[in-house]
Amino acid sequence: MGRYLLRRLVLFVPVWLGVATLVFLLVRMSGDPVLAMVGDKASPERVAELREKLGLDRPLPAQYASFLGELATGDLGESYRTQRPVLEDLRDYFPATLELTLLAMLFATAGGMALGIAAAVRRNGWVDSASMVTALVGVSVPVFWLALLALKGLGESAGLFPVGGRLSATTDLRPLTGLFTLDALLRGDPAAFADAFGHLVLPACVLATVPAAIVTRMTRAALIESLGKDYVRTARAKGLRERTVVVRHALRNSLIPILTVVGMHFGLLLGGAVLTETVFGWPGLGKYTVDSVLRRDFRSVQGALLLMATTFVVVNLLVDLLYGFLDPRVREGYEEGR
Amino acid sequence: MRRFATAALAAALALPLGACRKALPSSVIVYARGEDSESLDPQGFDDGESSKVADQIFESLVSFGPGTCDLVPGLAESWTASPDGLSWEFRLRKGVKFHDGTPFDAEAVVFTMQRLLDEKNPLRPPVKVPYDSYYRGIVESVAAKDPHTVLFTLEKPSATFLPNMAMFAAAVVSPTAVRKTGAALFGKNPVGTGPFRFDSWSQGEKKITLLRNEEWWGGKAGVERVIFRTIPDNNSRLTALRSGDCNWMDGINCEDLDACRKDPELKVWSATGMNVGYLAMNTERKPFDDVRVRRAVNLAVDRRKVVEGLYYGSARPAVHPMPPGTLGYDESTPLPAPDPAKAKALLAEAGFPAGFDTELYAMPNPRPYFPSPLKIAEVLKADLAAVGIRARIVSPGDFSLYREATSNGKHALAMLGWTTDNGDPDNFLFTFFSKESAVKGPGALNVSFWVDPRMQDLLRAGQAEMDGAKRAALYREALALVADQVPLVPVAHADTPYVSRAGFEGFLVQPSGDLVLHRVKPPPAE
């Protein structure tokens, strides 16, 4: 197990280097960042001066070398748009995305699995049809439209949820981890917790729709397959309760594909959800990255993309480790494959 | 166990429902906008979102009169210029303190000006000093004569010096605070003399909080607190305003204005914008080097139709390339009426009886003067087609690409515009028609690339003329020259709408675009 983990981590280095190189090249192919930075009123001398200051007048290999050098020391440079270190920006915006993703994936996994199990157990019944239609709608509806609808209906008209941002304007919360619900608890401030949680619910629900729909379909398919297996027939023949048969025997063996889907979406959502973040005014990584791309704030783009790649790889690794936890055969495989 | 879990989940979900719908206190302005500020160092930013906040914290020596471009005393009580216009003496308001307790005096003014003038100054904003060219090349030196008198020596007489001193870029900063935080961090911890003082900036939430300056020399502001927050999407921002999660907003979609005007819970404020959106013709390209073709374009465009159809009552059709209220604006010129027949005749005379094909560059994103540029481009295209000019609309990916293309003269026709920095005619006309701003590359704003010796003389004379009436006459002549040679077609002067919850009074937006929040009176508390 330890060796497996080590090997995965070592493999991560070339992957990460590849991503860094790709990001470096893509950012430099996307046009002149200096013009976007200085604005309309700058003189050509200012432009040249800034280009020199940023090292953009140097040959590409030299830029690449210093880029890698800075990365090695953990320096992501300074954002020209927000005028502060990229690392600080990421420290602010990544927790927002993480918090939203965690709740959204919780909703998606719980809701999706419940619907999927119900559909599989009552296959071809009305529950099945209803949940499959729900799932189809879930993947098909445009997210920004659903988001606006949720805001209008539940936020404005029904007045159930606050609209915009992570906290109400008048709530002051000094962040610790950047996960505001957790911070509110750590600071012992129940009002701030309620406020932060209230702001989370709608965007998390909206963000959960697509993964929930996919989890539903995956759960249904995997469970139906398991329920047709011999060991299920044996379990039933032993006289076990149907619930035990489904949950302990069939579902447990269907978890691997479900986990794969959940892990994949978790990784994707950690890269930020631009549309959801924009509509809900959620200051997350997705909006930050897109704004940085539009302003050609290349240091922020580099930093954000590297962070996304890293989280994606880490989540994948965690999923792989969970496979071993769920399935002893995989665990054995770790040992054999050394 | 299961029942308990269900109950816990229900409680967790219901908890926020009751707790977080608290109404905003009326003594707080919660101002929602589309983007966060970049920096609050008045010498170090040029984005509108930064100036909205910095306007509340900082003041300049000279100020604009309420709702006008008239120059009135700000932090300076009075000023006098020597007869040759080369030396200016400003007498400073006494007893004024910065928010950190530092007394406001001549040293602070000299310190601030040095940040603009001296490129080697280590306390200059590190990223950019976008407006330093408005002072360097005009101001030779600044010196404290005594603690309450500052002497400016100019390199040459300049009529734009005083309006430039009213800009936010010349707002006076606390020297103590800049030295303490260093220039780079001052933009995130600003200290000025204004009606509100900076309290906090949560970058993670994109939220800036200001508190009332209880000791402001101009009297206490009407509200205790101003909170700026960011909601990028225009629809969501309006939803937040309607639901009471904020009580003020800007950046509303024009098409939502009517509904807001009818809503008894909301109040629409309209600020006359000192801007102009125009259609530039690249006079370096055929056939727009021919004045007859340019005149034909001018006669083809129906500005009134554009304004009525696409600005939803928040703009005026433009006659001149600068808005009414600017010095030298000629009220006697009528709005040119569209005349397709005459336009066709002019085109035929110029050798295009069957018209011609061309390209119309339109910016992809809304600008204050063109709130929906691509729709406006469609209308312009149809107007041009009616006289035989077949234009293809070209819209590069983002605004910086758009500026790159237009500032290098890639276009035949291009939509562009300008919002004034200081309300001075020079700020419009020099920008649009000078030889200096026709130099291709970044900063080229004369995108007609029309350079005329007479115009150049008029612009130079206008910069140096200190007599208001004589100066106005120079600009009137310049406007007549533009109307005759038509390097561009002025299309519209757009107003800027703001929406608040009903009950607030006294909000003011200066023609320069500066927000005046200290005059706002909150609704009586219930």
Residues 6+ apart with CB under 8 A from A142: none
B136 touches chain A (CB under 8 A): no
- Determine, yes or no, domain membership for A291: yes
Structural domains of chain A, count: 1
Q: How far is B457 from chain A (nearest CA, A)?
A: 22
Q: Which residue of B has its CA nearest to A155?
A: B243
Cβ–Cβ of A42/B205 closer than 8 Å? no
User: Could you tell me which CATH number the domain at B275-495 has?
Assistant: 3.10.105.10
Cβ–Cβ of A165/B243 closer than 8 Å? no
Q: What is the pLDDT of residue A15?
A: 83
Tell me the ipTM for this assembly: 0.86
Cβ–Cβ of A198/B20 closer than 8 Å? yes
Token reading at B455: 């115009």
- Determine, yes or no, domain membership for A28: no
pTM over 0.80: yes
- Is the N-terminal amide bond of B287 cis, ω within 30° of 0? yes
- Nearest CB neighbour to B39, from listed A83, A294, A296: A83
Q: How far is B18 from chain A (nearest CA, A)?
A: 8
Cβ–Cβ of B230/A283 closer than 8 Å? yes
B80 touches chain A (CB under 8 A): no
- Determine, yes or no, domain membership for A246: yes
Q: What is the pLDDT of residue B91?
A: 97
The CATH number that applies at residue A198 is 1.10.3720.10
Q: How far is A283 from chain B (nearest CA, A)?
A: 6
Q: Answer whether B408's CB lies under 8 Å from B375's CB.
A: no
d(CA A137, CA A135): 5
Q: Answer whether B29's CB lies under 8 Å from B227's CB.
A: yes
Cβ–Cβ of A170/B28 closer than 8 Å? yes
- Nearest CB neighbour to A283, from listed B13, B204, B227: B204
Cβ–Cβ of A35/B206 closer than 8 Å? no
d(CA B327, CA B476): 9
- Nearest CB neighbour to B15, from listed A89, A197, A294: A197
- Determine, yes or no, domain membership for A203: yes
DSSP three-state, residue B28: strand
- Determine, yes or no, domain membership for A27: no
d(CA B293, CA B347): 6
Q: How far is A258 from chain B (nearest CA, A)?
A: 23
Counted across chains A and B, CB pairs separated by less than 8 A come out at 173
Cβ–Cβ of B16/A198 closer than 8 Å? yes
Count Cα atoms within 13 angstroms, Cβ side, for A244.
10
- Nearest CB neighbour to A167, from listed B205, B240, B400: B205
Pick among 3.60.120.10, 3.30.70.60, 1.10.3810.10, 3.40.190.10: CATH of B2-40+193-272+497-519: 3.40.190.10
Q: What is the pLDDT of residue B1?
A: 42
Residues 6+ apart with CB under 8 A from A143: A206, A207, A209, A210, A273, A275, A276
Q: Which residue of B has its CA nearest to A168?
A: B245
- Determine, yes or no, domain membership for A314: yes
Q: How far is A47 from chain B (nearest CA, A)?
A: 8
Task: Give pLDDT < 50 ranges for chain B.
Answer: 1, 16, 18-20
Which of A99, A163, A296 to mutate against chain B (most B CBs within 10 Å)?
Answer: A163
Provide, as residue numbers in chain B, all residues whose Cβ is less than 8 Å from the Cβ of A88: 203
Q: Output Rg (C-alpha) for chain A, integer angstroms.
A: 24
- Determine, yes or no, domain membership for A307: yes
Q: What is the pLDDT of residue B3?
A: 54
DSSP for B220-255 reads --SSSEEEEEE---HHHHHHHHHHTS-SEEE---GG
- Determine, yes or no, domain membership for A303: yes
Cβ–Cβ of A165/B231 closer than 8 Å? yes
Q: Answer whether B165's CB lies under 8 Å from B60's CB.
A: yes
- Nearest CB neighbour to B21, from listed A83, A159, A287: A159
Q: How far is B15 from chain A (nearest CA, A)?
A: 6
d(CA B508, CA B18): 36
- Nearest CB neighbour to A44, from listed B205, B206, B442: B442
* List of long-range contacts for B78-82, beta carbons under 8 Å, 24+ apart: B79/B162, B81/B466
Provide, as residue numbers in chain B, all residues whose Cβ is less than 8 Å from the Cβ of A159: 21, 243
Orientation of helix A298-326 relative to helix A86-121, angle to 10°: 40
User: No. of H helices and E strands in chain A?
Assistant: 16, 2
Which residue is listed with tokens 């994606």? A312
pLDDT tens track, chain A, 338 positions: 677 778 878 888 888 888 889 888 888 876 677 776 766 666 677 777 778 877 888 888 898 998 888 888 888 888 888 888 999 999 999 999 999 999 999 999 999 999 999 999 888 888 889 888 988 888 888 888 899 899 888 888 888 899 889 999 888 888 889 999 999 999 999 999 999 999 999 999 999 999 999 999 999 999 999 999 899 899 889 888 888 888 888 998 889 899 999 998 998 888 878 889 999 999 999 999 988 888 888 889 989 998 988 888 888 888 888 888 888 777 776 665 54
Q: Which residue of A has its CA nearest to B28?
A: A170
β-bridge partners, B275 = B419
Domain of A332, in residue numbers:
86-337
Sheet holding B266-271, edge to edge: B196-202, B207-212, B225-230, B28-33, B248-250, B496-501, B266-271
Which of B243, B407, B418 to mutate against chain A (most A CBs within 10 Å)?
Answer: B243
Q: Answer whether B359's CB lies under 8 Å from B315's CB.
A: no
CB atoms closer than 10 angstroms to residue B519: 16
User: No. of H helices and E strands in chain B?
Assistant: 16, 21
DSSP three-state, residue A281: coil
Which of B236, B398, B404, B440 to mutate against chain A (most A CBs within 10 Å)?
Answer: B236
Class of the CATH-defined domain B48-181: alpha beta
Provide, as residue numbers in chain B, all residues whose Cβ is less than 8 Å from the Cβ of A84: 188, 203
Cβ–Cβ of B204/A164 closer than 8 Å? no
Where in chain B are the domains? 2-40+193-272+497-519, 48-181, 275-495
Q: What is the pLDDT of residue B387?
A: 95
